[in-house]
Chains A and B, each alone.
Chain A
Amino acid sequence: MSIWDYANPKRFMQTSGAILPWIAVGSVICLTSGLIWGFFFTPDAEKFGSTVKIIYLHVPSAMLAISAWMMMLVASLIWLIRRHHVSALSAKAAAPIGLTFTVIGLVTGAIWGQPMWGTWWAWDPRLTSFLILGLFYLGYIALWQAIEDPDTAADLTSILCIVGSVFAFLSRYAVLFWNQGLHQGASLSLDKKENVSDVYWFPLLICITGFVLLFVSLVLVRTRSEIRKRRLQAIITRERFA
């Protein structure tokens, strides 16, 4: 059995229907326990006070906002190269989720920035590229809505996705090669000195797992809806010409 078998909508619906409840339950368990642990049972940080608790929302949502675009990039490339409809529909399904995570990242970042940096917003390389990524999400969703023919829409949105990947990449790595701006380096690192302290790291890891599982669950739910919508459209078109 190859991974391409899942490009068959029927096979995709069967498999996703079977695994979806497990992933959704895992997401609820991880998000609830991670957020409760982080919010109620971690101490204030010396430099940041209680605002350190925002890390449990900001870091996972920002990571997922970028990762969602990368997932859309892979799905778009599969569409462009192999013309599998499920991949194009999964990219379409992921966009509103990625946009929501981007908005959460921007809002929590602004709320954290006000007391820590003294400003809600700064034209810092990482923040700016992240904002542009959010605008690419809006453009991507608008482009899908604007084009009636689904295959043409999938083609054009795939191209947009490839272009937008530059900003997804910049959002992730801007702090490494642009040695300016307010945003600090990565909160999670293999380097013990850079990494957040263990007392924050474990609940953060659970929150990240919860956000990843939530993303996968929602992508599956929305891709299943897109497949059904496509089938519904086919039936309606057939009825019109009958």
Chain B
Amino acid sequence: MPELGKYAGYVLGSYAASIALIVALVAVSLWQSKRIKLQLDDAEKRRGASDE
């Protein structure tokens, strides 16, 4: 760990807040992508079954 001196709280706070926001954004984007893909796959299966 580097020596951050009297500004340690500010620097670590910046990194913690930014990384938390980026991780949350990536997680929400991937979760939404997966959920919609599953819903679309289901709908396309239903559609395929009704066409037969």
Contact = CB atoms under 8 A, between A and B. Distances in A.
Contact of B22 (A40, A44, A214): A214
Which range contains the number of B residues in contact with the other chain? 20 to 34
21 contacts: A39-B15, A50-B5, A50-B8, A50-B11, A53-B4, A53-B11, A53-B15, A54-B11, A54-B14, A100-B25, A104-B18, A107-B14, A111-B13, A214-B26, A221-B33, A222-B32, A229-B40, A231-B40, A232-B36, A235-B47, A236-B43
Interface in A184-242: 214, 218, 221-222, 224-225, 228-229, 231-232, 235-236, 238-239, 242
A229 B36 contact: yes
Interface string A25-61: 0000000000100011000100001110110011001
A221 B25 CA distance: 12
A232 B43 contact: yes
Say whether chain B's binding surface is mostly helix, strand, loop, or mixed.
helix
Interface of A: 35, 39-40, 44, 49-51, 53-54, 57-58, 61, 96-97, 100, 103-104, 107-108, 111-112, 114-115, 214, 218, 221-222, 224-225, 228-229, 231-232, 235-236, 238-239, 242
A218 B4 contact: no
Given A231-B40, A235-B44, A236-B43, A58 B33 contact: no
Q: Give the 3 A-B residue pairs with the shortest CB-CB distance, closest first.
A: A50-B4, A235-B43, A57-B18
Contacts of B36: 225, 228-229, 232
A218 B2 contact: no
A235 B25 CA distance: 28
Interface string B1-41: 01111111011011101100110111001101100110110
Given A54-B10, A57-B15, A221-B30, 7 more contacts: A50-B11, A53-B4, A100-B24, A115-B7, A221-B33, A232-B36, A232-B43
